[in-house]
Amino acid sequence: MILVFGKTGQVATELQDFKFVKALGREQADLSDPEACARAVKFYRPQAVTNAAAYTSVDKAESEEDLANIINGEATGAIAKACSELDIPYVHISTDYVFDGTGTKPWSIKDIPNPKNAYGRSKLKGEKIIQASGCTYAILRTSWVVSAHGNNFVKTMLRLSKTRDSLAVVDDQIGGPTCARDIARTCLSISEWLIKDPNKSGVYHYSGQPDVSWCQFANTIFKQAERQTIATPITTSDYPTAAKRPINSKLDCTATQEIFGIGRPLWLDGLGQIIRDLESKHEKA
């Protein structure tokens, strides 16, 4: 059995499609209570743990950094320590936001993190605690997560396109959209690898390809969904937010391919499935 922290988030929802997954919601393991999370690991004694829960309100974290640090840092550390004590692997989902977004080259796992917002700092704190815990782990940094569940860019664009002919969308932030379903499968695959070979512990990157801007991504969404809406390009400075966003969110996923044989997925394929899923739930019309 794989124990998953998170039940309603995008990746957690996808993970629950697998019968050998036991997902814990907030009522069973609240990440604002780190010790409760540790107790859950020790109670279920799974083969491996995946953390698909997090504080993800990027702008709100600017005023709630203490809470973000508890959920994304201390709770993550408590889970990692429990995994170390039980000698079971821990797969933790992290983010491109641990980097400052400068330059144009894809971020390597060897690059030094330098987050520019509170959310990124809280996620980096979690990474450091995991690495110091002594557990077998994989920290999987990903970016621009989308699915037919929860709140995300695809659903927002489809919702706005119902009533808008055009939308101004940021065109100077570049990254790899990543479908939650692909992330879920990758987490489980890496868990299986770590159970067999703890020496594969480390930090890995995983994002969809090709890298695009938010504006380019939006126009592809509209085309795939057969919407007449057009996304027009603006700059990050034209769309101020409480938290600074990285301009360059591209991730070098070479190590994930080399160590686990898992390549970057084509997000266009996943996008088509997301739109079909939304159609079946009557959310697209």
Across the chain, mean pLDDT equals 97
pLDDT tens column, 12-69? 999 999 999 999 999 999 999 999 999 999 999 999 999 999 999 999 999 999 999 9
Q: What is the pLDDT of residue 279?
A: 87
Number of other CB atoms surrounding residue 193 within 10 Å? 18
High-pLDDT (> 70) share of the chain, %: 99
- Write down the residue that tokens 């279920």 correspond to: 44
pLDDT tens profile 175-200: 999 999 999 999 999 999 999 999 99
The tens digit of pLDDT for each residue in 73-109 reads 999 999 999 999 999 999 999 999 999 999 999 999 9
- Measured CA to CA, the distance from residue 157 to residue 145 in angstroms comes to 14
* Angle CA 203–190–21, to nearest 5: 125
Closest alpha carbon to 126 in 98, 96, 99: 98
Q: Find out whether 231 and 167 touch, Cβ atoms under 8 Å.
A: yes
Predicted TM-score (pTM) of the model is 0.96
218: burial class by Cβ within 10 Å (0-12, 13-18, 19+)? buried
Kindly give, in sequence order, each residue whose CB lies less than 8 Å from that of residue 80, ignoring residues fewer than 6 positions away. 90, 92, 129, 130, 133, 135, 137
Q: Are strands 212-213 and 174-175 parallel, antiparallel or unpaired?
A: antiparallel
Q: What distance in Å separates the CA atoms of residue 108 and residue 112, rounded to the nearest whole number?
A: 9
Annotated catalytic residue, options 119, 137, 204, 206: 119
Express each pLDDT in 104-141 by its tens digit.
999 999 999 999 999 999 999 999 999 999 999 999 99
Q: How confident is the model at residue 282 (pLDDT cuts 50, 70, 90)?
A: low
How much of the chain, in percent, has pLDDT values that exceed 90? 98
All residues at 6 or more sequence positions from 97 whose CB lies less than 8 Å from its CB, including other chains? 58, 115, 117, 119, 120, 123, 246
Q: How confident is the model at residue 284 (pLDDT cuts 50, 70, 90)?
A: very low
> Is there a catalytic annotation at residue 119?
yes
